Structure 1
Amino acid sequence: MEQYTILDLHKRIATNSTNCLTFFNKQGELISKPYTEVFRDIRKTLIHMREFDIANSGTRFVVCGEPSYHWICAALAAIFNGAQLVALPESMSEEEILASIDGLSIESALVADKYKASKAFASVKTFELSNFCAQISSIDCDDDIVLSFMVSEKVIAFTSGSTAEAKFKAFEVPLQTSIAFTNRFRKLYSINKEDNWLICHSFSHIVHFEYLLGGLYWGYNVTIATAFQILMKGASFSPSVLVTVPSVYEQIASQIRNKFRLADDGENRLHALESRPISNENGDVIRYPLCEEAKLVLGDKLKMLLIGASPSSLELQTFLLQTGLPLYEGYGMTELNMISCNTPEKSKLSTVGPAWPGIEIKLDDDNCILARATPERACFYLNANQETNQSTFLDNGWVNTQDLGRIDDGVLRIVGRKKDIIVNAGGKNISPSSIETKLTSIPTVNHAVVYGDMKPYLVAVLSSTEKDRFLLEDIRCSLDRINTSLPLHERIMGFILSEEPFTVESGTLTRLGKVRRTKVIERYQAELEKLYA
C-alpha cells in the first residue's frame, strides 16, 4: 500500500528542481520558478513572519486576497510554522467577514489592502499581504540556515455559501485528505511530472489550493492565471489539466468557433464537426482527436478538462466533445471534495459519472444524495449551530448534500436541488430570498421570484395588483436603486410583470401565503428565457 504524509510536503518542495510554479507578477510578466526556488521564498516568508510574531504555531492565521504568488508563500509559510491557515474568501463584505470568522479566534492575518482597515480585524495583528511578502527579497536565507518546521495538518475552509446570507460556514480540512485526493486524480487521468495544471480560480475555493498542493507534493507543474489570461494566452501555457466553470468554457467554445471562421473552408469544416455524434446508443461518450482549432486556443497537451462549480448545458458539452477536447463533468461539495466524476474508463453523457475513489454514494427516501468520504474530510461546521450541523453531517460519516439524484448502473445523475439556492453560470451560489425581500420593498410589488440557475445574470418575475401606466417606469427606477446595493452577480438585470397577481387559487401561493416558486417559474419560464436573448 502506498504510504505518504503531509508532514513531508516541505521536504518534497525543497528537493524538486524539476517542476515549476508559473505565475504573473504585478507588472504582468510571466515568471516561472522551480519548486526549490519557491521553497526558498517560503523560508524567507516564514522568517519574516517570526520577526513580526504572526502565524505562530497553534494559532489561527488568515490569508485573504486574490490568488497570487504572495498568497501561496504566505499560506505555506504559515502551515510550515504550525499555524492553522484560514483561507478567507476575498469577495466577502464587511458583514460577511464579521459573521463568518466570529468565534474562530483569529490571532493574525495577511489581507488584501481593502480589508486592512476592516472592523473584522480590529483586534487581530494584521498586515497588507502584498507589501508584507514583497519585503522578503531583502531577507538573508541561505540554505545552510536551519529552520524548524512544525507542519500544521489542517486548514480552515469555507463553504461557497449562500451569497445573500451573512455567514459562510467554516470547517476544518485535514491536508492528508488533500494529498489523497490529488493522488487519486493524477492516477485516474494519468497526470505525470511533465504535465502542467492550469489554475484560474481563487485559493479560498479550497479545492484549487489543493490542486496546487498536489503539484508541490506529487511533482507536476502548476500555472496560476486568470480566466481572461487563459482566453488570451491559453495555448502558450500548454495546459494538461484545466478545471473551471461553464461560463469560461462558453468563451473557449466561442474562440474555437472563431478560429474555424477565420480559416479557409472553415465554415464547412465547422458544420461537419458539429454533425459528429458524441455518444453511442448506450450513452457512452465518443472521444475524437483534438482538432487544430482547439489546439490554437488551448494547446495540444490536454489530458483533462473538468467542468466544475455549476452544471453545464448539453449544447456546450456537445460542442467541446466534438472538437476532441478531453471534457469530463463531475460533481462535488466543498465539505467532501469530489463526489463523482466521469473518467477515461467510464464517461456517460448527461451524468456526473461514477463515485470518486474513496467515496460512497447512496440516496435517502427522498432521493437526496448522501455521500461518505474515506478518509473523512469535514465532520462539523465551526461557526454553525447544532441544528445546521446535524442536518448536514449525519451518523457514521454520511454527509447530506441537499441535492436530488438518480443512480443508474453505478453512474450518478443530478436531477434537482432540495434547496432554492441558485447557482449561476460563474459558479456563484446565490440565495434568492434576500433579493426577493428587497424587490417586494418596492411599493407596487407584492411578490417576487428570482430566476437565473446556470445563467449569466439574474432576472425576476414580479407580481403587482397595480395596473397604472406608470408602473413599469416606477419599478425600473426602484430596481436601479436596489441594484446599487447588491454585488454584481446578485443584481436583477431584467424582469417581467405577472399577468395576474399571485393567489392561492391560481396555484402560485400556498395556503399560508408563501410563493410557490416552482409553479411560478413553470408558468413564466418561456418569458423569462426571452430576457436572455
Structure 2
Amino acid sequence: MRTILDLFQANVEKYGDRACLWHKRDGKWVHLSWNDVSLTSSSLCRGLASLGVQKGDGVGIISATRVEWTLIDLAILFAGGVVIPVYPSLSADQIVYILKDSAVKILFVENHALLKKIERVRRELPELRSVILIEGGDHNALTLNSLSVLGEGKRDPKVVYNADDVASIIYTSGTTGRQKGVIITHANIVAEVKGLMGVFKIDVGDTMFTVLPLAHVLARAVQFFQLAHGCESAYAESVEKVPENLIEVRPHMVVVVPRFIEKIYDRLHDKVIHSGKIMRLIFGRAVSIGHARSLAIIRGEKISLKLKFKSKLAEMLIFRRLQAALGGRIKFIVSGGAPLSADLSKFFHGAGLLILEGYGLTETFAAATVNRLDDFRLGTVGKPIDGVDIKIAPDGEILIRGDVLFKGYHKLDNETKEAFMSDGWFSTGDIGEFTKDGFLRITDRKKNMIITAGGKNIAPQAIESKLQESPYINHAVILGDRRKYVSAMISVNIDAVKKYADKKMITYRSPQELVRSREIKDLISGVIDEKNRELSQFETIKKFAILDRDFTIETGELTPTMKVRRKVIEDNYKAIVEELYN
C-alpha cells in the first residue's frame, strides 16, 4: 500500500530544493528544502537501524513542537518503528506508564531537563535501551548528530508496510482515569490525509503555521497533510513567541484550538475597552456591520453597496488590526480539539477571517468532520470528510465508521470491544445532531450530561462555553447532577480582572484578595445574569463560586490539551461544592 512516506517521497522528487519546513535559528527564519528533510530523516533512520530498531519497535518522542520533531517522526517510520508521542508537561509517573505500556526501546528527549526527568526513573524502564538528546549534548545520551554518525555507510532499511501495520500509539490525555493507547495504522494516516486534502484548499507555495503540540493528534495529522500536499510549514518558536512569529511568517493557514482564538479576541477587546468611549462605540458598530455582512454571505445574498462601504470602513478602523495580528495573509483558520463559541465564529467571519471548525478524536486520527471554504455553517463542525460515515444513535450519541478509525486500544481488548458496536460503528461518547442541511453540531459529552433532581437533561459544555466568552472568565465548570439546581465554579482571567480593578480604583493586597472582593463577585455575577437570559429556566445558574486560582495541568485538573477533568476538580474543591448546595 502507499503510505505517508510514499506521499512525502513523491513530493521530494517533485519539489526538490524548494522550501519545505521553516524554523528560526539564531534570530533568523531559515528553511529546510524537501531534499534536506528527506536526507536528514534518512540519516536519522539509518542511525536508528544501527541501534537495532526493527519493524514494530516503539520509539518515543518527548518534546515541544519544533522542526526536529517532524524529522524524527519521519525517521522512525522509515526505520519501521512505531512512534509514541509524549507531552513534555506530563508527570514522571504518567511518562513511565506510557513508556512501559508501549515498550519504548529508544527515546528522544528535547532538552537536559527532560533528560534528567528520565534518568530519575530509568530503573523503572527495563525495555529502554537508548536516550537521544535533541538539544545540546550530554555524556549520558546520544545526540541527533551522533545518531546520524552511527548510520554513516549503512543502507536505508527497506521496510514493507501493510495497511494494518501500526504507525503510532497515541495516548489519550484522558479526562477520567488512566491514559489509553490508541493504535493508529498506516492506513489510518493515509485516509485522514486524503480526507484533509479534499478540505484544505491552499496552494503549494502557501505557508502553514505550526503551533499546536505535535503530541496532539490534530497537529500530527496536519503535519502529515503538509508533507503529502506540498505546501510549506513554519514552526512557532514557543507559545510566548506566537504573536511575534505570526507577523514575521505571515502564514496562509493556521491550525489551532479554540483557546488560541479566544486569546486573540481578548487582546483586541481589551485594547478597545481601554481606548475610550469613542473607540468602544466604533468597535460595537463594526461588530454589527460584520455580523450583517457575515449573514448575507451565509445566506448567499448579494451584498449591497451600502453594506460594502460600511464593511470597508469597519475593516479600516477595527478589523485590519485583527488581520495584521495574524500576518495579513490568512486564507482560513482551522479550529479543533474542543468546541468553539458560535459567537466567536461569527465575529471572526464578520471581520473577514473564516474559521473552519472541525470535529474528531484521537481514535479517528483527528478530523472526522470539517467545515469547507465553500460549504460551511458557523456554530457547527461541518460535514464528514471523504471516507467517513456518521450517524446519530437513538440516545443522541455520534457513531462513526470509516478508514480513519483506529485499530484498537493497546493491550485493552475489553475496552476495544466496548468501543465498537457489533456492526462496526464506533461509539464516540459525544452527543450531537445534524442540521437540516447535513452539518454536524456537537452538544456535549455523553458522560458529562447532567440530569438534575427534577429529571432535566443539561449539556454543561454549552453553558461553560457561553460563560467563557467573557474576557473575565478563564474556565467555568457547571455542576448540578442529581441536584435541585445548577451551579458553577469559576476561575477568572486574573490579568483582565486586575485591569478592571485598576479602572474602578479597587484596592487589594494580593490576587487572592482581589478575586474574593465584593466588586469582583458583582462583576462575575453580572456576566452570569447576562448569560442566564440566554438559557432555559432549568439550565440557569443559581449559585456560583470564584476560585482563588486557575485550573492547571500540574494539579491534574486539566489535560495536556487543556480540557477540564471534572471528577478531579469536584474532588479538589469538595468543600466548595458542598457549600454551593448547602
- The equivalent residue for 1:22 is 22
Give yes or no for contact 1:238–1:301 (8 Å, CA) kept in 2. yes
Query: Residue 58 of structure 2 contacts residue 84 of structure 2 at CA under 8 Å; is this kept in 1?
Result: yes
How many correspondences in the alignment?
458
Corresponding residue number in structure 2 for 1:395: 422
Distance 1:418 1:141, change over 3 A: closer
**8 Å contact from structure 1 (residues 88, 157) kept in 2:** no
Q: Residue 135 of structure 1 aligns to which amino acid in structure 2?
A: N
Partner of 1:67: 65
Report how far residue 325 of structure 1 moved.
0.5
Which residue in the other structure is 2:382 paired with?
353
The structural deviation recorded for 1:418 is: 0.8
Q: Could you give the per-residue CA deviations for residues 248-301 of structure 1, whole angstroms, max 9, x where no partner exists?
A: 1122224445787889x9656533321122554997599988742233111233
Identify if the C-alpha distance between structure 1 residues 228 and 359 changes in structure 2 by more than 3 Å, giving closer, same or farther: same
The answer (yes or no) to whether the contact 2:79–2:159 under 8 Å persists in 1 is: yes
Equivalent position of 1:121 in the other structure? 125
Secondary structure of the 1:116 match is helix
TM-score normalised by L of structure 2 = 0.67
Distance across 2 between alignment mates of 1:389 and 1:249: 35
C-alpha change, 1:160 and 1:231, in structure 2 (3 Å) is farther
Structure 1 SS opposite 2:285:
helix
Q: Given that residues 407 and 413 in structure 1 are in contact (C-alpha distance below 8 angstroms), is that contact kept between their aligned partners in structure 2?
A: yes
Determine the C-alpha separation between the residues in 2 that align with 1:257 and 1:485: 30
1:82-161 to 2 correspondence within 5 Å? 82-111=80-109, 112-117=114-119, 118-119=121-122, 120-130=124-134, 131=137, 132-136=142-146, 139=149, 147-150=156-159, 154-161=166-173
Cα deviation digits, residues 460-487 of structure 1 (max 9, x gap) = xxxxxxxxxxxx9xxx9x999x999714
Check the 8 A contact 2:103/2:127 in 1, yes or no: no
Q: CA deviation at 1:324?
A: 0.5
Q: Which amino acid aligns with 2:356?
A: Y
Runs of at least 4 residues off by over 4 Å: 255-263, 265-269, 281-291, 421-426, 448-453, 482-485, 490-503
**Cα drift, residue 220 of structure 1:** 0.9
Counterpart secondary structure, 2:383: coil
> Which of these residues, 547, 551, 555, is aligned with residue 486 of structure 1?
555
* 3-state SS in 1 of match to 2:174: coil
Give, in angstroms, the shift of residue 341 of structure 1: 2.0
How far did residue 398 of structure 1 move? 1.2
Unaligned runs of 5+ in 2: 304-310, 450-459, 469-474, 478-485, 495-515, 517-544, 559-563
- Work out the CA distance in 2 between the residues paired with 1:483 and 1:246: 17
Question: Aligned in 2, Cα 1:369/1:456: closer, same or farther, shift over 3 Å?
Answer: farther
> Structure 1 36/197 Cα, relative in aligned 2: closer, same or farther at 3 Å?
same
Post-superposition offset of 1:229 = 2.4
- In structure 2, the partner of 1:37 is 36
TM-score between the two structures when normalised by the length of structure 1: 0.73
Structure 1 372/115 Cα, relative in aligned 2: closer, same or farther at 3 Å?
farther
The aligned counterpart of 1:304 is: 332
CA deviations 1:73-121 (Å, max 9, x no partner) are 2221111111122223333223223333444333222234244222453
Q: CA deviation at 1:219?
A: 0.7
Task: Spell out, residue by residue over 1:175-201, the C-alpha distance to the aligned partner (whole angstroms, 9 max, x if none).
Answer: 333233233323323222111111111
**Cα distance in 2 between the residues matched to 1:382 and 1:34:** 36
Match runs of 1:45-444 below 5 Å: 45-51=44-50, 53-111=51-109, 112-117=114-119, 118-119=121-122, 120-130=124-134, 131=137, 132-136=142-146, 139=149, 147-150=156-159, 154-163=166-175, 165=177, 167-225=178-236, 226-257=238-269, 269-276=282-289, 277=291, 279-280=294-295, 284=299, 291-336=319-364, 337-373=366-402, 375-386=403-414, 388-409=415-436, 410-420=438-448
Q: How far did 1:237 drift?
A: 1.3
Say if 1:284 and 1:181 are closer, same or farther in 2 by CA, change over 3 A. Answer: farther
RMSD: 4.2
Secondary structure of the structure 2 residue equivalent to 1:179: helix
CA contact (8 A) 2:356 2:376 kept: yes
Unaligned stretches of 5+ residues in structure 1: 433-447, 458-471, 504-533
